[in-house]
Amino acid sequence: MHPMIASAAPPQGKADFGTLKRFLPYLWPRAEPMLRVRVVAAMALVLLAKSTTLIMPFAFKGAIDRMAAGVPDGIQIAVALVCAYALARFGGVLFDNLRNAIFERVGQTAARRLSQDVFAHIHRLSLRFHLERRTGSLTRVVERGTKSIDTMLYFILFNIFPTVFELSAVCIIFWVKLGPLMVAAVLAMVIAYIWYTQRVTDWRAKLRREMVDSDNKAVARAVDSLLNYETVKYFNAEAHENRNYGLAIKRYTDAATKNEVSLAWLNIGQSLITNLMMAAAMGYTVWGWHSGKFSIGDVVLVNTLLAQLFRPLDMLGMVYREIKQGLIDMEAMFGLIDTPAEIADVPGAPPLAITGGHVRFSHVNFGYDPRRQILHDVSFDVPPGRKLAIVGHSGAGKSTLSRILYRFYDIQGGTVTIDGQNIAAVTQDSLRRTIGIVPQDTVLFNDSIGYNIAYGRPEASPADIEAAARGAAIHDFILSLPDGYATQVGERGLKLSGGEKQRVAIARTILKNPAILILDEATSALDSATEADIQQALGTVAQSRTTLVIAHRLSTITDADEIIVLAAGRIIERGRHEALLGLGGAYADMWLLQQAEEAGEALAAE
């Protein structure tokens, strides 16, 4: 496996709070002071809500003591204390909801900025990464990582911090009211609770990793199968695919079951610890009431304070689990961010300055894998406005040349220049803006035909889009559709035929108006009549541009200024069409073979 792909998967190491530390700048952005104000205001409301909650037990205690005393005129005070208790409960809810309303913008902005950073970085990664990745698994990594942000923010800021504050306040109250022994018992219970929760949750984290990994593989298997559904049908492989998917789902089901069983054991242990503490504390206060040390109200006070403390402590177990699970999901997403871009601009790289579009390959050596070289000492020169055709059998390295010119890969030897500038020394953005391509395998976005054509220049006007469609001989076809340019093309453009997709790609490139044009089998999916129209259109487009044609049909490149013949990554012949035929070599053999095939097809059609 390529090292970059490995880094995109959830790391096998233990998720720690270093991952959380990396996220904090998104929560406290330097460039947005108003978001910082919201964070401070939300935390102030957290303290108000907890302070109000701590007042409630005292109001309840006072009311009970008044009632127990049996003083006739004490009823008014008891009623007032009950009203204060109700008001304090309402205040806690009010401050909590105001806090949520104020903080929501912070959480959403943090999630948006992080997901945009991940999305942008994925697009910066090399073609090698995207050719080797699994789309389903990658999207789930990003989806889970983004969703974990809101959960982690809420629990860390609005549960852990308030719980620590409340625990401190309860310990102070118990020290004053009940003595240091009760404080020691509370702290011992909290320490035991946290220790048990941490140990069991770490065990569950391993089970969670297994479940997430199984889920990723199941989803990746399903997406891969659905994307290749035509191949599945061609080979009657529905049962095979269903069996493989069933095995993947079974692995996920087994892992999910173990995860849920471990959750039951965690809840049982937490409940045992907290209820032992409640029994001990209540027994102590009842004994104190019997001894005359405490009032009935003190018994209610202790019960209410502990019940309020146990509520966030019970949540603390879930919070810790969610944070650990969120860290696992986020470390996978940060793993994507940490994946280095194989192709990067050199520091201070200038934009490409186009003066004519002169392309030169000089002694280029290249291999996708160091163990297997594809191109061997390839050199050619395409002056501005000239047309170079590249031919050869499949696997000769023809399409590799276009990928190198786009700088999808860096070469291992030699240089590639445009107007005398090494493409490795200029910005990738300026380089790719200069080049337009009509690929052999056209894949369209699941949007309208108009959107796909406009992708060549998103700011183009409708008139420009229509002009490009006319240039690609597809305008009349689009108008014949019920929805015209708003017609949806389906996923990967599958609602259109191969020829229609290719004409959309040609229109898109015409709209881009590049200085350098690459035609990679640009008319291979077209019928003879349409091919003639497209060739005429492409000839007009290519007149003022440097053009590289990767051709299968030799009849489409007879007008090329130079033709080079590749075999096993080496140039074995070069020259114009007539000169190469006169050589009687590999090009001439290819020409005679294609002429015989076309003659046979014409005879069969009669």
- DSSP of 360-429, one letter per residue? EEEEEEE-SBTTB--EEEEEEEE-TT-EEEEE-STTSSHHHHHHHHTTSS--SEEEEEETTEEGGGS-HH
3-state secondary structure (DSSP) of residue 604: helix
Nearest to 489 by CA among 540, 433, 444, 543: 444
The distance in angstroms from the start CA to the end CA of the chain is 53
3-state secondary structure (DSSP) of residue 295: coil
Both structure tokens of 424: 């490795």
Report how far residue 451's alpha carbon sits from residue 447's, in angstroms, rounded to the nearest whole number.
6
Q: Using the 8-state DSSP alphabet, how is residue 95 labeled? A: H
Q: Using the 8-state DSSP alphabet, how is residue 554 labeled? A: G
Edge-to-edge strands, sheet with 359-366: 375-382, 359-366, 413-418, 421-422
Report how far residue 283's alpha carbon sits from residue 241's, in angstroms, rounded to the nearest whole number.
63
Residue 327's pLDDT band, with cuts at 50, 70 and 90, is confident
Both structure tokens of 477: 């076809």
Nearest to 1 by CA among 125, 124, 131: 131
Instruction: Quote the percentage of the chain above a pLDDT of 70.
Output: 83
pLDDT digits (tens, 9 = 90+) for 408-431: 888 889 999 999 999 999 998 899
Both structure tokens of 94: 């009010």
In this prediction, residues 61-72 reach a mean pLDDT of 64
Quick one: pLDDT at residue 248? 83
Quick one: pLDDT at residue 522? 66
In this prediction, residues 451-459 reach a mean pLDDT of 86
Phi-psi category of residue 340: left, alpha or beta, with phi > 0 → left and psi -120 to 50 → alpha: beta
pLDDT digits (tens, 9 = 90+) for 239-266: 888 888 888 888 888 888 888 888 888 8
136 pLDDT above the threshold of 80: no
Nearest to 15 by CA among 288, 333, 482, 287: 333
Do residues 498 and 416 lie in contact, with contact meaning Cβ atoms separated by under 8 Å? no
Considering the chain, what is the average pLDDT of its residues?
Answer: 79
Angle at 479 between CA 475 and CA 484, to 5 degrees: 110
Residue 237's pLDDT band, with cuts at 50, 70 and 90, is confident
* Residue 13, CA distances (Å) to 9, 10, 58, 157 in order: 11, 9, 48, 26
Q: Count Cβ atoms below 10 Å from residue 309 Cβ, excluding itself.
A: 21
111 pLDDT above the threshold of 60: yes
More confident call, 543 vs 410: 410
Q: Find the helix or strand (DSSP H, E) in which 108 lies.
A: helix 75-124
Quick one: pLDDT at residue 537? 65
Q: Count Cβ atoms below 10 Å from residue 5 Cβ, excluding itself.
A: 15
Q: Count Cβ atoms below 10 Å from residue 157 Cβ, excluding itself.
A: 19
Report how far residue 130's alpha carbon sits from residue 428's, in angstroms, rounded to the nearest whole number.
17
Report how far residue 216's alpha carbon sits from residue 138's, in angstroms, rounded to the nearest whole number.
8
Q: Which of 358-367, 537-546, 565-574 has the lowest mean pLDDT?
A: 537-546
Both structure tokens of 241: 């695919």
More confident call, 459 vs 235: 459
3-state secondary structure (DSSP) of residue 563: strand
Report how far residue 329's alpha carbon sits from residue 10's, in angstroms, rounded to the nearest whole number.
8
User: DSSP letters along 318-374, please?
Assistant: HHHHHHHHHHHHHHHHHHHHHSPPSS-PPTTPPPP--SS--EEEEEEEE-SBTTB--
3-state secondary structure (DSSP) of residue 574: strand
Nearest to 594 by CA among 387, 393, 388, 390: 393
Quick one: pLDDT at residue 45? 84
557 pLDDT above the threshold of 60: yes
Q: Count Cβ atoms below 10 Å from residue 344 Cβ, excluding itself.
A: 12
Report how far residue 390's alpha carbon sits from residue 405's, in angstroms, rounded to the nearest whole number.
14
Do residues 318 and 201 lie in contact, with contact meaning Cβ atoms separated by under 8 Å? no
Q: Which of 45-49, 344-348, 538-542 has the lowest mean pLDDT?
A: 538-542
Quick one: pLDDT at residue 11? 40
Q: How many residues does the chain have?
A: 606
Quick one: pLDDT at residue 527? 62
3-state secondary structure (DSSP) of residue 168: helix
More confident call, 161 vs 574: 574
Contacting residues for 247 by C-beta, under 8 A, at least 6 apart = none
490 pLDDT above the threshold of 90: no
pLDDT digits (tens, 9 = 90+) for 72-108: 555 666 566 567 667 767 777 887 788 878 887 877 7
Nearest to 352 by CA among 388, 406, 410: 406
Q: Which of 59-68, 284-293, 481-490 has the lowest mean pLDDT?
A: 59-68
Q: Using the 8-state DSSP alphabet, how is residue 572 labeled? A: E
Give long-range contacts, CB 8 A cutoff, 24+ apart: 292-297: 294/178, 295/61, 295/65, 295/68, 296/64, 296/65, 296/68, 297/60, 297/61, 297/62, 297/63, 297/64, 297/65, 297/68
User: DSSP letters along 500-547, please?
Assistant: HHHHHHHHHHHHH--SEEEEESTTTTS-HHHHHHHHHHHHHHHTTSEE
3-state secondary structure (DSSP) of residue 571: strand
Quick one: pLDDT at residue 3? 36
269 pLDDT above the threshold of 60: yes
Burial class (CB in 10 A: 0-12, 13-18, 19+), 600: exposed
Ordered by where they begin, the domains of the chain are: 7-338 (1.20.1560.10), 359-605 (3.40.50.300)
In this prediction, residues 45-72 reach a mean pLDDT of 71
Quick one: pLDDT at residue 377? 92
Q: Residue 70 — φ and ψ, nearest 5°?
A: 70, 20
Nearest to 519 by CA among 390, 344, 392: 390
